[in-house]
Amino acid sequence: MTSANLPPVTSHDGATNFADLGLIAPITNRLTEMDYKTPTPIQAKAIPSVIAGKDLLAGANTGSGKTATFVLPILQKIHQAQQSAKKDKGNFVSALVLVPTRELAKQVADSVKSYAVYFNGAIKSTAVFGGVSANTQMLALRGGTDVLVATPGRLIDLISSNAIKLDRVETLVLDEADRMLSLGFTEELSALLALMPQKKQTLLFSATFPEEVRSLTDNLLINPVELQLQSADASTLVQRVFTVNRDKKTALLAELIKQNKWRQALIFVNAKNSCKHLADKLSKRGITAEVFHGDKGQGARNRVLDGFKAGEIEVLIATDIAARGLDIEKLPVVINFDLPRSPADYMHRIGRSGRAGEVGLALSLIAHADYHHFSIIEKKNKIRLERETFVGFEPDEEMPDDEYAVEKPMAKPAGTGKKKKKKQAPVNVDIWAGIGNNDSDNENSSTDDSTKEDDFQ
Binding site for ligand AMP (CB under 6 A): 1, 3-4, 6, 36, 39-40, 43, 63-68, 327, 355-356
Do residues 307 and 313 make contact, with C-beta atoms less than 8 angstroms apart?
Answer: yes
Q: How is 124-180 classified by DSSP, letter by letter?
A: -EEEE-TTS-HHHHHHHTTT-EEEEEE-HHHHHHHHHTTS-B-TT--EEEEETHHHH
- Quote the least distance from Cβ 334 to ligand AMP, whole Å: 15
Give the residue among 356, 355, 376 at the shortest CA–CA distance from 366. 376
Give whichever of 63 and 73 is closer to ligand AMP, judged by the CB atom: 63
Do residues 266 and 328 make contact, with C-beta atoms less than 8 angstroms apart?
Answer: yes
- Quote the least distance from Cβ 414 to ligand AMP, whole Å: 55
Give whichever of 328 and 367 is closer to ligand AMP, judged by the CB atom: 328
DSSP state of 396: P
In the chain, % helix, strand, coil (3-state, to 5) comes to 40, 15, 45
Q: Where are the beta strands (DSSP E) in 176-303?
A: 201-206, 225-228, 237-243, 265-268, 290-292
Q: Give CA–CA dist 334/354, Å, rounded.
A: 9
- Quote the least distance from Cβ 327 to ligand AMP, whole Å: 4
Give whichever of 67 and 264 is closer to ligand AMP, judged by the CB atom: 67
Give whichever of 43 and 91 is closer to ligand AMP, judged by the CB atom: 43
Task: Name, in order, each residue with C-beta under 8 angstroms of 277's C-beta and a sequence gap of 6 or more.
Answer: none
Give whichever of 17 and 444 is closer to ligand AMP, judged by the CB atom: 17
Give whichever of 64 and 76 is closer to ligand AMP, judged by the CB atom: 64
- Quote the least distance from Cβ 264 to ligand AMP, whole Å: 15
User: Which amino acid would we find at residue 236?
Assistant: T
Q: Give CA–CA dist 361/145, Å, rounded.
A: 39
Distances (CA, A) of 358 to 22, 234, 352, 361, 431: 28, 11, 11, 10, 18
Give whichever of 188 and 327 is closer to ligand AMP, judged by the CB atom: 327
- Quote the least distance from Cβ 43 to ligand AMP, whole Å: 6
Do residues 275 and 269 make contact, with C-beta atoms less than 8 angstroms apart?
Answer: yes
- Quote the least distance from Cβ 300 to ligand AMP, whole Å: 24
Outline where 40-101 has alpha helix (H): 41-51, 66-84
- Quote the least distance from Cβ 105 to ligand AMP, whole Å: 13
- Quote the least distance from Cβ 350 to ligand AMP, whole Å: 14
Give whichever of 65 and 294 is closer to ligand AMP, judged by the CB atom: 65
